[in-house]
Structure 1
Amino acid sequence: MAVIQMNYFSKSLMRTVDVNVILPIDHLDMDTKTYHYKTPFKTLYLLHGIFGDHNDWMYNTNIKRWANDHNLCVVMPSGENMFYVDNKITQKFYGEFVGKELVEMTRQSFPLSHQKEDTFIAGLSMGGYGAIVNGIKYHETFGYVAGLSSALLIDNWANVIKPLIHSPNVKAYYDTIFEDVSHIIGSDQDYHALVLKHQDHLPHFYLCVGTEDALLPANREFYQFLKEHHADITYSEGPGAHEWDFWNTYIQKVLDWLPLDDHVNDVSSGNVK
């Protein structure tokens, strides 16, 4: 399993960014002493939550081992605390970054499939919201979208309810992220509006949330909304709060849901024959 850290200049963010890439190119056949792997790779763009960075999924879950088992490339960018949306005022285009630029950059750099059915996006909490809105917006790129404990809080934002990050001016804080939070309803940052706009081209969805998570009602509501609009949706609830134990369990369920290769038999540090 190769783990690569990309460090490149992003045209969407106009600064240098760090991205971790898991690339399973070192499957070793002990009989022939040769590497064998199947290309082009299917790819999962995996987004962290608020307060996190590109290392979160690597440090807190078994994603590296499971990606290796399924011959899956996993791309993990940093989204700061900006919810993976575009903001023309601040000139921070995080939606364009994860939904378009990062896909183009990684496809140029690595042997990845260019097919929609082989290209997936997922995330937790803030990253779940980012995966959903960008997965729908860039539906020509992503065939499968997964949200784990997704921060589906658009009503809170639209009504300027105090956020997790305290700010003396709540609307000004939201505006630094969403450009103008008073216009968020009906925009391309509104997951309900995106579903209605792209109803004939929706990707496959997987939503999951812990039964002790404060985001449980919002995720249930969006699941029902997707069902009502005939989306292909798999939904799961399980024991757990807003925590890594839940996400480590359910990212494996996401991988089981995705159309991935069968388990790869090889020799590695965790698989000695």
Structure 2
Amino acid sequence: MVPYVESRYPVRRSPEYRLLAGDSLGATASLHTAISYPELFRRIMSLSGAYYPESQRIVAQYADLSALQLYMIVGLQETSFQTDTGVYDFVELNRTTSRLLKERGADVFYEEKDGKHQWGFWQQEIPDALRYFMAG
């Protein structure tokens, strides 16, 4: 996808300008993609990431994630969210993942605010997240 976009549009070609964004499992996939391909991606907008224990184990395997910059938001009403695999406390999953990332040198903006695990909450957060990345 990156070569396709770069061959057709006047975009910046450096990984520090590329942004992966996602909500729930999309945020998790964005983080794993950036960790796997730091030469391509370094910025992640994480909206209520589904950072299950396996994702946390993957993050914990890395000693240095200082190339990553994340904007993480999670809703305070996400403490018992029902998924196909069980009920999870997304607030605690995001807190723990944020801590793991910071311990490995990642630049992390993390915030918890009133909100549920749904598009209406995330949609309201996108402008602030984009301003965060545009400022830094």
TM-score range, shorter chain: 0.7 to 0.9
Partner of 1:255: 130
3-state SS, counterpart of residue 122 of structure 2: helix
The amino acid across from 2:93 in the alignment is A
Equivalent of residue 221 in structure 1, options 96, 120, 130: 96
3-state SS, counterpart of residue 134 of structure 2: coil
| Alpha carbons 2:66, 2:107 under 8 Å: kept | no
Residues 98-143 of structure 1: CA distance to partner in whole angstroms, max 9, x if unpaired? xxxx112211222211112221111101110011110121111113
> 1:104 and 2:6 equivalent?
no
Q: TM-score, length-normalised on structure 1?
A: 0.42
CA distance 1:224–1:197, shift in 2 (3 Å): closer
Partner of 1:130: 29
Equivalent of residue 120 in structure 1, options 10, 19, 26: 19
Partner of 1:150: 49
Equivalent of residue 211 in structure 1, options 76, 97, 101: 76
Residues 1-44 of structure 1: CA distance to partner in whole angstroms, max 9, x if unpaired? xxxxxxxxxxxxxxxxxxxxxxxxxxxxxxxxxxxxxxxxxxxx
**Cα distance in 2, alignment partners of residues 201 and 229 from structure 1:** 7
Equivalent of residue 244 in structure 1, options 106, 119, 133: 119
What's the CA shift for 1:193?
Answer: 2.7
Residues 50-90 of structure 1: CA distance to partner in whole angstroms, max 9, x if unpaired? xxxxxxxxxxxxxxxxxxxxxxxxxxxxxxxxxxxxxxxxx
Kindly indicate which of the two structures has a greater share of residues assigned to helix.
Answer: 2
**Cα distance in 1, alignment partners of residues 16 and 97 from structure 2:** 23
Structure 2 residue ranges without an equivalent (≥5):
80-89
Partner of 2:106: 231
| Alpha carbons 2:20, 2:41 under 8 Å: kept | yes
Q: TM-score, length-normalised on structure 2?
A: 0.81
Aligned runs of 1:36-51 on 2, under 5 Å? none
Aligned residues with identical type, % of pairs: 26
- Structure of larger gyration radius: 1
Q: How many residues align?
A: 125
CA distance 1:130–1:192, shift in 2 (3 Å): same
**Cα distance in 2, alignment partners of residues 137 and 149 from structure 1:** 21
Question: How well do the aligned residues superpose, as a CA RMSD in angstroms?
Answer: 1.9
**Cα distance in 2, alignment partners of residues 210 and 140 from structure 1:** 31
CA distance 1:201–1:238, shift in 2 (3 Å): closer
The amino acid across from 1:231 in the alignment is A
What's the CA shift for 1:192?
Answer: 4.0
3-state SS, counterpart of residue 208 of structure 1: strand
Structure 1 residue ranges without an equivalent (≥5):
1-101, 156-184, 261-273
CA distance 1:137–1:232, shift in 2 (3 Å): same
Residues 127-185 of structure 1: CA distance to partner in whole angstroms, max 9, x if unpaired? 100111101211111131121001112x3xxxxxxxxxxxxxxxxxxxxxxxxxxxxx5
- Structure of greater relative contact order (alpha carbons < 8 Å, 6+ residues apart): 2
| Alpha carbons 1:139, 1:201 under 8 Å: kept | no
Partner of 1:87: none
